[in-house]
């Protein structure tokens, strides 16, 4: 089993990804850290505790950063995820309580407690990971790996969702993303290049509702408003399950085609949040990318296999 720390800003697709992660026998959830992003830190943390009640995982939940690495306020996406960031479904007061540590501190402690055995799956802005690296750079050599949902590199024409050239998680804290992508740990970046290829359409979501038991009904309900955002903004009758693709990549990397090379992030200005890889063996002269380690960018995915893996986790054949 792969030990996983889930760094998240729940978030509709975060909740769908966490529900999947908890069900997978290949993955052992050892910690959840929250971060500003889809909503303010209090809301996303309350949601994470609600999901702990709902999915019944034992892993501790620690509250992470409510501001960016440069202490700026992020820009919550209530128009996408709803005012309560869980599709405005009813979210009762959580029973679960917080771990007393700050998110980045718990991340450091867990990585040090399980050297070379922990994968950090980060599906929100990368502030907590950047803070953890700053406090304890050695963790870069102690993790098994890092999988990030974020960025957009132009594969299949996908270049951004909060601007023509930037994806939300990276754009919400570009300095943190640049610190994470240039650190000496192995990062696999699951960006819009592949997450916008994998659409959970109406029939797919209805099947989760009808054949996925209580959790399937929850996944359908929590994504209802998220679906109407996709319909209005992209005339898409379905949803991009961004964060689930990162979890799928952590457990089934063979479904993804990876391109290798150092990655940098534009910080500030018109293109702030743009992610740019200098592919290995590319003909460019030495520049801002070359002092940094090569990372892996997902440029393609077996969509049918990934969506099948997600659905079969909830829909059992005998359920009619
Ligand atoms: O751009 C998509 C990402 O931003 C997803 O992680 C979504 O939850 C939001 O955080
Ligand atoms: Ca997210």
Domains of the chain: 2-319 (3.90.245.10)
Strand order in the sheet with 295-301: 61-63, 27-34, 2-8, 118-122, 145-149, 187-190, 295-301, 256-261
| pLDDT number for residue 199 | 96
230 is catalytic: no
> Can you say whether residue 116 is alpha, beta or left, with left for phi > 0 and alpha for psi between -120 and 50 degrees?
left
Measured distance CA(21)–CA(37) in Å, rounded: 20
Tell me the backbone φ, ψ of residue 297, rounded to 5 degrees: -110, 125
Read off the pLDDT band of 320 (50, 70, 90): very low
What are residue 187's DSSP bridge partners? 146
Burial of residue 97, with CB atoms counted within 10 A of its CB: 0-12 exposed, 13-18 middle, 19 or more buried: exposed
Q: Which atom of ligand 1 is nearest to the CA of 12?
A: 8
More confident residue, 247 or 319: 247
- What pLDDT does residue 317 have? 64
- When pLDDT is averaged across residues 284-302 and rounded to a whole number, the result is 96
User: Any alpha helices (H) in the chain, and if so which ranges?
Assistant: 12-23, 41-55, 78-81, 103-113, 127-135, 139-142, 168-171, 174-181, 192-195, 202-211, 213-222, 224-234, 242-251, 303-312
Which strand (E) or helix (H) includes residue 201? strand 199-201
Residue 281's pLDDT is 85
Residues with CB under 6 A from ligand 1: 9, 11, 13-14, 37-38, 123-124, 149, 161, 167-169, 242-243
206's tokens: 């209805």
- Could you say which DSSP state residue 157 is in? G
Q: What mean pLDDT comes out for the span 175-188?
A: 98
Residues with CB under 5 A from ligand 2 (ion): 9, 11, 14, 123-124, 243
Could you give the count of Cα atoms lying within 13 Å of 79 in the half-sphere of its Cβ?
Answer: 6
State the DSSP string of 117-149.
-EEEEE-S-SHHHHHHHHH-TTHHHH-SEEEEE
Arithmetic mean of pLDDT, 12-23: 98
Q: 283: CA distance to ligand 2 center in Å?
A: 35
Tell me the CA–centroid distance for residue 10 and ligand 2, in Å: 6
> From CA 256, how far away is CA 260, in angstroms rounded?
13
Task: Return the best residue to mutate from 6, 7, 33, 37 for the ligand 1 pocket (most ligand atoms within 8 A of CB).
Answer: 37
Q: Tokens 């659905």 correspond to what residue?
A: 311
Catalytic-labelled residue, pool 50, 104, 158, 242: 242
Contacts of 254 (CB under 8 A, 6+ apart): none
pLDDT tens for residues 190-242?
999 999 999 999 999 999 999 999 999 999 999 999 999 998 989 999 999 99
């Amino acid at each position: 089993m792969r030990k996983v720390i889930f760094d998240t800003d729940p978030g509709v697709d975060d909740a769908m990804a966490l529900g999947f992660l908890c069900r997978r026998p290949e993955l052992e959830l050892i910690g959840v850290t929250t971060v500003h992003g889809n909503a303010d830190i209090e809301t996303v943390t309350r949601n994470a505790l609600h999901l702990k009640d709902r999915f019944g995982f034992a892993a501790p939940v620690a509250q992470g950063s409510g501001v960016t690495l440069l202490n700026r306020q992020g820009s919550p996406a209530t128009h996408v995820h709803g005012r309560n960031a869980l599709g405005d479904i009813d979210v009762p007061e959580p029973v679960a309580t917080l771990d007393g540590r700050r998110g980045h501190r718990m991340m450091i402690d867990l990585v040090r407690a399980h050297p070379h055995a922990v994968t950090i799956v980060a599906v929100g802005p990368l502030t907590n990971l950047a803070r953890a690296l700053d406090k304890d750079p050695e963790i870069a050599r102690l993790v098994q790996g890092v999988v990030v949902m974020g960025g957009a590199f132009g594969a299949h024409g996908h270049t951004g969702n909060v601007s023509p050239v930037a994806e939300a998680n990276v754009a919400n804290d570009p300095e943190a993303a640049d610190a994470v992508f240039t650190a000496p740990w192995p990062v696999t970046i699951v960006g819009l290049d592949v997450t916008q290829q994998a659409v959970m359409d109406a029939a797919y979501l209805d099947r989760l509702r009808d054949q996925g038991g209580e959790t399937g009904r929850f996944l359908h309900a929590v994504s209802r408003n998220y679906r109407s955002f996709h319909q209005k903004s992209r005339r898409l009758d379905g949803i991009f399950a961004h964060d689930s693709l990162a979890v799928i990549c952590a457990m089934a990397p063979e479904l993804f085609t990876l391109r290798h090379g150092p990655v940098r992030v534009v910080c500030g200005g018109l293109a702030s949040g743009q992610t740019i890889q200098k592919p290995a063996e590319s003909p460019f002269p030495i520049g801002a990318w070359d002092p940094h380690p090569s990372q892996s960018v997902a440029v393609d995915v077996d969509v049918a296999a990934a969506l099948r893996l997600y659905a079969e986790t909830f829909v059992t054949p005998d359920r009619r």
